[in-house]
Amino acid sequence: MELSRRGFFKVMGASGAALAATPGKAKATWKSKAPPDAYGCLVDLGRCIGCRKCELACNKVNGLPEPEKPFDDVTVFNQRRRPDDKAFTVVNRYYTGRTDERNQPKPTFVKVQCMHCQDPACASACITGALHKNENGAVTWNPAKCIGCRYCMVACPFQIPAYEYSNPITPRVRKCTFCFDRISEEGGTPGCAAICPVEAITFGRRSELLKLAHQRIKRDPVNYVQHVYGEKEVGGTSWLYISQVPFEKIDSYNMPTRQIPKLTETIQHTIFSYLWAPITLFGILGGAMWTLNRQQITGKSGPGKEKEDRS
């Protein structure tokens, strides 16, 4: 059931291998570049009340355009949303079958944004180094370096980077910045974490957050799924999630624990070593991505794709 993603990477692995003349060598030389003391955020879905204040804060701190529907409008939950160039984070609502004391369906709210992977696929796919994993953990985009190839969008396993298609002159790649400027300051916190009224988002050093996350799920085994999402997924992410409902029920893809760059870089290096035009890579990656997306849209891909809302 969890095949779609994994299937994709298998495909990728296969094509990479097929293309690679010396795959074994490339694999052997790959090394994680994860910063040792990265910041992170622990999102506790058991705490989130779906107030959408994080969306509002993100909009304000990043100077994003006013949304069509105000941030206190809960009707947006009737659709599943994705972060885009006008909203770096969105909160979605899931009814997973849980009920409350009055037998009413109990929602689970899930905040979505860039995971700030420890070894980000987006950065490694970027041929100019426009996307960069900073020492503090933030994966940021540098407009001066970006050539608009959009490899990052294809490479990101979470489909995060968004492109300003509506801006033909100076289109930018947009995504959560982990509030790079704010957290670079002494005592600074990301906008979303600062505003969250219930501290559903805990900001801190990733290593500390991991401890905290394990502590919390261990203390409440009745309610919490005993898994810290992002600890191992795609080799680890700066943003971590703990949840009271199984992760596959809330659209979190069942990610491989391998670092994606290990794979993509292998492909890339191979390609480049054969001087293949980037467009070819784009084609392959894009093709695979397209297949995957089709599967998701048609609902063929397994777990937790509960598109209907019982609100």
- Report, in Å, the least distance between residue 219 CB and other proteins: 10
The window from 2-10, 134-142, 205-213, 229-237 that contacts other proteins (CB under 8 A) reads 205-213
The window from 21-29, 198-206, 231-239, 272-280 that contacts other proteins (CB under 8 A) reads 198-206
x-or-dash string of contact with other proteins, 227-266, rule CB under 8 A:
----------------------------------------
The window from 176-184, 214-222, 223-231, 241-249 that contacts ligand SF4 (CB under 6 A) reads 176-184
Q: Does 126 bind other proteins (CB under 8 A)?
A: no
The window from 3-11, 98-106, 190-198, 263-271 that contacts ligand SF4 (CB under 6 A) reads 190-198
According to CB under 6 A, which one of 71, 88, 224, 253 is a site residue for ligand SF4?
Answer: 88
Q: Which of residues 60-119 bind other proteins (CB under 8 A)?
A: 60-61, 72
179 binds, among ligand SF4, other proteins, none (CB under 5 to 8 A by kind): ligand SF4
Which of 199, 220 has the CB closer to other proteins? Answer: 199
Question: SS3 letters for the chain?
Answer: CCHHHHHHHHHHHHHHHHHCCCHHHHHHHCCCCCCCCCEEEEEECCCCCCCCHHHHHHHHHCCCCCCCCCCCCHHHHHCCCCCECCECCEEEEEEEEEECCCCCEEEEEEEECCCCECCCHHHHHCCCCCEEECCCCCEEECCCCCCCCCHHHHHCCCCCCEECCCCCCCCCEECCCCCHHHHHCCCCCCHHHHHCCCCCEEEEEHHHHHHHHHHHHHHCCCCCCCCCECCCHHHCECEEEECCCCHHHHCCCCCCCCCHHHHHHHHHHHHHHCCCCHHHHHHHHHHHHHHHHHHHHCCCCCCCCCCCCCC
According to CB under 6 A, which one of 9, 85, 89, 266 is a site residue for ligand SF4?
Answer: 89
- Report, in Å, the least distance between residue 108 CB and other proteins: 15
Note the residues at the interface with ligand SF4 (CB under 6 A): 48-54, 57-58, 61-62, 88-89, 91, 109, 111, 113-117, 120-122, 139, 156, 158, 160-161, 175-179, 190-192, 195-196, 198, 200-201
